[in-house]
Amino acid sequence: MSNTETTAVDKGEKRASFTGRIGYVMAAAGSAIGLGNIWRFPYLAAKYGGAVFLIVYLISVYTFGYVLITSETVIGRKTKKSPVGAFRHFGNTKAHSFGGWINAIIPMLIAPYYSVIGGWVLYYMFSYMQGQVKELGGDNAFTNFISSGTSVEFWFLVFAVCTIAVIFFGVQNGVERVSKVLLPVLVVLSVVVCIYSCTRPGAIDGIKYFFIPQMQNVSWMTFVTAIGQMFYSLSCAMGILITYGSYMKRDVSIEKSTTQVEFFDTLIAVLAGLMIIPAVFAFYGNDASQTLKAGPSLMFITMPKVFGSMGFGMAIGIVFFLLVFLAALTSSISLMESAVSTFQDELGMSRPIATLTYGGIYIVLGTLSSLGFNVLGNVKLLGMDFLDFFDFITNSVMMPIAAIAICLLVLRSVTLKGVEDEVTYDGAPFRRKKVYNFVVKYVCIAFLVIILVSSVLNAFGVIHM
Ligand code: PHE
């Protein structure tokens, strides 16, 4: 489209915005805190060195994470556009257009399969509510569930409707309002489950395992996975924070907000580690460290076994899956918000039309992922089912490329001075300026290339992560 420059904003319509810092922080933290914190973080930490993983993770949040959140927010707020328009604002070249589109397409591809997993979580939550504690802890419960195309599709649609409804209500009434309520509830529920887990007999060994360095598990992969996890967990390099930045008012401090988002996201990740690792130790005793390596199935297979064998199984099952559901919902809202915003800005659609149009694509792609374990079980892409394929292509391939595009945009077009001007616009000092400049100039791109190459080699079986 040649007239894509004429967005709603250019036409003089007011762009939606968050009410203030709390609104932005709650929405961005809601995006960041999700399935990544609750099932991915604890199992990676357990597998790759416990406390060492945690330290590498924290350092990378403070350096890379900080650089990307700040850069994306700055780019969004400066241009008041979603990713495509934001990149184009700095130059009308093919490279700018590529950088913008890759950032815009990632959330469009993640939202559908992420919501399929959201549907699984809903199914578990409702099954616990119906008292099926023993059934869910059974050996084949999970496999039986995902091999039924109708159930998986049904729960995906329920989750999808929840997400679409919030987006329909807009930025302040939908995204911001929902995140403001859900985030505090999430923190409280996490603390409840954590206390439950950590007080089971035998749990202390799990706490030690999580906080004491396991040097025999430390390897090169500790670094690669910790940094990769950090990007995923903070929702970096997915165009989301550019979109959210574009809704941020200019009197809000970028640095303060960024720090708070980092804090909340890390808090929930650590709490999740304390929910899962001690419970697994309490249940499996000496076999716990082996079980923890099960990874992805931990949340849907191992945790229900743990709940099924301990007191208050039903109540804690409900609370745990409710908490995971809320975390997943605010993340999927952010994914869809970013997608819808691109449709509004680039195709000049009104919000309801953009929501319905993207909603259609989302349901189709989500259905492919839902049916990939059953009806479409024979269809494989690069040897993966649909869900794994979408996960791989977005997180392992496109995300590092999108992050490189952001760093290049900062270095070449926005300039470090431009970043500083935007960060200090409200009069606040740019405290971590030295860290920012150093990391964006010398470290980020090199590490992103390493992550990209390692994950691709891993997918093709050349190395094992
Ligand atoms: N950050 C989310 C999590 O930890 C996942 C996510 C990734 C959400 C990308 C939005 C975009 O689960």
pLDDT tens figures, 7-58: 444 444 578 888 878 888 988 999 999 999 997 898 888 888 888 999 999 9
Tell how far the Cα of 240 is from the centroid of ligand 1, in angstroms: 10
For residues 102 and 79, give the distance between their C-alpha atoms in angstroms, rounded to a whole number: 18
Q: Quick one: tokens of 176?
A: 């911001």
Ramachandran angles phi, psi of 50, nearest 5°: 55, -115
Predicted confidence (pLDDT) at residue 240 exceeds the cutoff of 80: yes
Q: Dump pLDDT digits (tens) for 389-413.
A: 888 888 888 999 999 999 999 999 9
Which pLDDT belongs to residue 465? 66
Q: Residue 5 pLDDT more than 80?
A: no
* Domain span including residue 218: 21-459
Q: Average of pLDDT values for 77-94? A: 94
The answer to whether residue 2 is domain-embedded is no
The atom of ligand 1 lying closest to the CA of 37 is 4
Is 10 a domain residue? Answer: no
For residue 207, is it within any domain? yes
Could you tell me if residue 149 is inside a domain? yes
Q: What is the pTM of this model?
A: 0.89
Structure confidence at residue 157 (pLDDT): 97
CA of 115 to the centre of ligand 1 (A): 11
Tell me, yes or no, whether 201 lies in a domain.
yes
pLDDT of residue 13: 53
Average pLDDT over residues 254-268: 93
Task: Report which residue type is found at 465.
Answer: M
Q: Are 46 and 277 in contact (CB under 8 A)?
A: yes
pLDDT of residue 156: 97
Asked whether residue 393 is assigned to any structural domain, the reply reads: yes
Instruction: State the average pLDDT for the chain.
Output: 88
Q: Give the confidence band of 288 by pLDDT, cuts at 50, 70, 90.
A: confident
Helix, strand, coil fractions of the chain, as percent rounded to 5: 75, 0, 20
For residues 88-110, give the mean pLDDT: 95
Q: How far is the CA of 335 from the centre of ligand 1 (A)?
A: 8
* pLDDT reported for residue 12: 44
pLDDT at 331: 93
With 0-12 / 13-18 / 19 or more C-beta atoms within 10 angstroms meaning exposed / middle / buried, residue 167 is: buried
Q: What is the pLDDT of residue 152?
A: 94
| pLDDT value of residue 392 | 84
Which residue's CA is the nearest one to ligand 1's atom 6?
235
218-232 per-residue burial string, b: 16 or more CB within 10 A, e: under 16 = beebbbbbbbbbbbb
Q: What mean pLDDT comes out for the span 310-316?
A: 85
What are the pLDDT digits (tens) for 347-382? Answer: 999 999 999 999 999 999 999 999 988 888 888 887
We report the CATH number of the domain holding residue 143 as 1.10.4160
Q: Is residue 7 part of a domain?
A: no
Q: Which atom of ligand 1 is nearest to the CA of 107?
A: 11
Distance 230 CA to ligand 1 centre (A): 10
How many domains does the chain divide into? 1
Whether 138 maps to a domain, the answer reads yes
